[in-house]
Amino acid sequence: MAEEQITRPSPFSRPPTAPPPVVRAAPTRGSAATQPRTTIGADEQNLPMGVIAGLAAAAVGAAIWATITLITNFQIGWMAVGIGFLVGWAVRIAGKGTTTMFGVLGAVLALGGCLAGNLLTGCVVVSRQLEVGVVDVVARLTPAFTLDLMRAMFSPMDLLFYGLAIYEGYRFSIAGGGTKS
């Protein structure tokens, strides 16, 4: 029997070379893997959903504004900025619009939410003074009474906050920050 000689590497020798790196096939040009999605296509924009979401956000914002005003007995004008942001965010998320039309929608609905919040606050104040339900006051609103109520509650500072709400509603409604027509 011949002795087989087992060769072991010397502790002072160089380590064996590393295996070659794994080469993966490059994705083809234009594939979804190489193109990050940064824009929203025209087929994804949905104006009716933007309108519905914006109306809901304006109603919720108006209710919150009226509630806070009635709890604190102080009209906090910065609530208008919150309504503008809330409406703009809702229009952006639901509508996914990249055109100016979505910005205008957000601005108009933000202003409407602010006006509705002030009107609702006025209706609650009137209902407390007349000792009737808020629903009764709202049900009996006429255009003339609504205008008188809004005039009685108006202050010049409201214009500043309404302007901020309009700006926020416009700015946050357009997805991707674009302002295309």
For 51-96, write each residue's pLDDT tens digit: 999 999 999 999 999 899 888 888 888 899 999 999 999 999 999 9
Q: What is the pLDDT of residue 173?
A: 95
- Per the domain annotation, does 127 fall within a domain? yes
Q: Give CA–CA dist 164/28, Å, rounded.
A: 47
- Per the domain annotation, does 125 fall within a domain? yes
Report, as an integer, the average pLDDT of 112-127: 92
- Per the domain annotation, does 146 fall within a domain? yes
- Per the domain annotation, does 104 fall within a domain? yes
- Per the domain annotation, does 23 fall within a domain? no
Q: Which helix (H) or strand (E) holds 179?
A: none
Give φ, ψ of 99 to 5 degrees. Answer: -105, 165
Token reading at 120: 């609702």
> Could you give the number of structural domains in the chain?
1
Indicate the pTM of the whole model: 0.72
- Per the domain annotation, does 18 fall within a domain? no
Q: What is the pLDDT of residue 162?
A: 94
Q: Give CA–CA dist 156/163, Å, rounded.
A: 12
- Per the domain annotation, does 124 fall within a domain? yes
- What secondary structure letter does DSSP report for 78? T
Where in the sequence is the domain holding 50, given as residue range(s)?
45-177
Q: What is the pLDDT of residue 42?
A: 64
- Per the domain annotation, does 111 fall within a domain? yes
Please give the radius of gyration of the chain, using alpha carbons only, rounded to the nearest integer.
Answer: 31
Instruction: Give per-residue pLDDT as tens, 120-154.
Output: 999 988 998 999 998 999 999 999 999 999 999 88
Burial classification of residue 63, based on how many CB atoms lie within 10 Å of its CB (0-12 exposed, 13-18 middle, 19 or more buried): middle
